[in-house]
């Protein structure tokens, strides 16, 4: 992507689309999820989100590191990590409380078992301690802890990247290989279940995002742009779709022998998933310039707003997906319920993003007057 001093709205747009797709994919049994990215490729919205987050992290903290130093950069990252960590714990508490209340009143499905919430119901004290130490991750609530760890490493990675990005890539790839070879991962519950998003492997995709942003701003000539690479990326995506779509559409990836040879392991982030999402980024960046006119259209602006407020939209989407699951399971008209869950859920995500944008605009408008009043009080 071309370097620009202005905010690159393509990042917010892609992140916003990824968050909407994550909401759709998180609703169990949602028929609309049969038409999202994961059915046509070896990757899905999670890879897009992590890659874009790596790129955005460099843009947010790279300049701060250069201007204010490592301490100021680490302090800003620490505040953001604490905010995401707290949001993760609040999500667990809110969703666990909601689903336990629902489980006591409705019986369309075993809601606690489906979301891996039995531990909280059986041993609240032990489960809460495990959740605080990130050794207990209920189902669907595993991407924020991984992102906290990745973001915490960002200041150190950015320092290395600014000195020599090749060293950062080499270290990251070495950790990735060790995790694959020795099965490194973290525990997600008392039964020994592993983190669905293995931070030792997913850090490679995040680091690649940091490096792409660094090269885009400092040495864009080192990025492999050209018609030949574009044709390779488009060809790869076409072949991927021809392979992935029929296997996913008919559920073959869950059946032997495909379940044993399917080359797109998500927990350990198969190389094919990395190549796939990079090919998507390459084609998108080639055909969508930073100031593309359609990015200013209303629909695109709504997606950009979602990407700009990613933490809030992700949390709301997760809560809505759990509620949507219950609505679908308890409904006698599944088709109507599916339609309502998707339409209402996406509409609420977009509406919330717009309201957050307006709140931020109001704060910015009030900031000069507030600063003048503070300066006047200090002078008095």
Instruction: Give CA–CA dist 249/245, Å, rounded.
Output: 6
* Contact call for residues 268 and 198 (beta carbons, < 8 A): yes
Residue 140 pLDDT > 50, yes or no? yes
Q: In the predicted model, is pLDDT for residue 256 greater than 60?
A: no
**pLDDT for the residue numbered 3:** 40
pLDDT for 251: 62
How far apart are the C-alpha atoms of 55 and 3, rounded to whole Å? 12
Residue of 183, 203, 187, 205 lying closest to 195 (CA atoms): 187
Q: Is the pLDDT of residue 341 over 50?
A: yes
Average pLDDT score over residue span 152-160: 97
Residue 362 lies in a domain: yes
Q: Does pLDDT of 380 surpass 90?
A: no
Neighbour-count burial of 101, counting CB atoms closer than 10 A to its CB (0-12 exposed, 13-18 middle, 19+ buried): exposed
d(C-alpha 11, C-alpha 21), whole Å? 15
Contacts of 364 (CB under 8 A, 6+ apart): none
Beta bridge partners of 187: 194
Specify whether the CB–CB gap between 336 and 328 falls below 8 A.
no
**CB-based contact 245:199 (threshold 8 Å):** no
Question: Which of 143, 334, 209, 183 shows the shortest CA–CA distance to 268?
Answer: 183
Name the average pLDDT for the chain: 90
Give residue 20's domain range. Answer: 9-379
The answer to whether residue 92 sits within a structural domain is yes
| 153 is a domain residue | yes
Q: What is the pLDDT of residue 134?
A: 95
CA distance 12 to 83: 20
Is 4 inside any structural domain? no
Q: Does residue 375 fall inside a structural domain? A: yes
Cα 223-68-80 angle, rounded to 5 deg = 80
What does the pLDDT look like over 164-175, one tens digit per residue?
999 999 999 999
**Could you report the per-residue pLDDT of 92-105, keeping only the tens digit for each?**
999 999 999 999 99
Residue 263, domain member (yes or no): yes
Residue from 325, 309, 236, 219 nearest 278 by CA: 236
2 is a domain residue: no
Q: Quick check: is 3 in a domain?
A: no
Summarize the confidence of residues 315-342 as an average pLDDT. 94
Q: Confidence class of residue 353 from pLDDT cuts 50, 70 and 90? A: very high
Provide the number of structural domains found in the chain. 1
What is the pTM assigned to this prediction?
A: 0.92
Mean pLDDT throughout 216-224? 91
- The residue written with tokens 């996406």 in the block is 346
Which of 353, 348, 342 lies closest to 25, judged by CA? 342
Asked if residue 4 has pLDDT above 50, the reply is: no
17 or 225: which carries more pLDDT confidence? 17
Mean pLDDT across 120-132: 94
Q: Is the pLDDT of residue 375 over 70?
A: no
Q: Where does the pLDDT of residue 76 fall: very low under 50, low under 70, confident under 90, or very high at 90 and above? A: very high
What is the pLDDT at residue 164?
Answer: 96
User: pLDDT category, 262, cuts 50, 70, 90?
Assistant: low
Share of the chain above pLDDT 70, in %: 91
User: Mean pLDDT, to the nearest integer, of 12-26?
Assistant: 97
171-204: per-residue pLDDT in tens? 999 999 999 999 999 999 888 899 999 999 999 9
């Amino acid at each position: 992507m071309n370097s620009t001093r202005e905010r690159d709205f393509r990042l917010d747009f892609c992140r916003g689309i990824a968050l909407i797709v994550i909401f759709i994919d998180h609703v169990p049994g949602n028929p609309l999820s049969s038409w999202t990215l994961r059915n046509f490729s070896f990757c899905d919205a999670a890879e897009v989100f992590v890659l874009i987050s790596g790129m955005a992290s460099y843009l947010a903290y790279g300049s701060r590191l250069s201007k204010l130093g490592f301490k100021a950069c680490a302090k800003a990252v620490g505040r953001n990590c604490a905010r995401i960590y707290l949001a993760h714990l609040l999500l667990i508490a809110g969703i666990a409380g909601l689903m336990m209340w629902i489980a006591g009143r409705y019986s369309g499905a075993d809601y606690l078992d489906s979301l891996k919430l039995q531990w909280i119901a059986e041993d609240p004290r032990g489960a809460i301690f495990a959740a605080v130490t990130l050794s207990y991750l209920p189902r669907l609530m595993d991407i924020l802890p991984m992102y906290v760890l990745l973001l915490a490493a960002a200041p150190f990675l950015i320092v290395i990247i600014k000195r020599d990005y090749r060293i950062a890539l080499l270290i990251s790839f070495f950790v990735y290989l060790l995790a694959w070879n020795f099965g490194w991962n973290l525990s997600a519950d008392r039964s020994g279940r592993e983190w669905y998003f293995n931070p030792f492997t997913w850090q490679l995709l995040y680091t690649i995002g940091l490096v792409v942003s660094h090269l885009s701003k400092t040495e864009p000539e080192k990025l492999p742009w050209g018609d030949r690479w574009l044709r390779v990326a488009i060809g790869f995506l076409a072949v991927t779709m021809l392979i992935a779509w029929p296997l996913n559409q008919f559920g073959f990836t869950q059946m032997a022998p495909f379940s044993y040879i399917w080359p797109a392991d998500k927990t350990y982030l198969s190389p094919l998933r990395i190549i796939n999402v990079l090919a998507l980024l390459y084609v998108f960046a080639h055909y969508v310039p930073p100031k593309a006119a359609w990015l200013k259209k209303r629909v695109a602006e709504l997606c950009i707003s979602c990407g700009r407020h990613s933490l809030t939209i992700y949390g709301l989407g997760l809560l809505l997906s759990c509620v949507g699951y219950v609505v679908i399971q308890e409904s006698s008209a599944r088709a109507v319920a599916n339609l309502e869950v998707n339409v209402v859920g996406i509409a609420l995500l977009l509406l919330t993003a717009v309201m957050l944008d307006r709140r931020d605009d109001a704060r910015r408008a009030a900031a000069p007057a507030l600063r003048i009043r503070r300066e006047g009080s200090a002078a008095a």
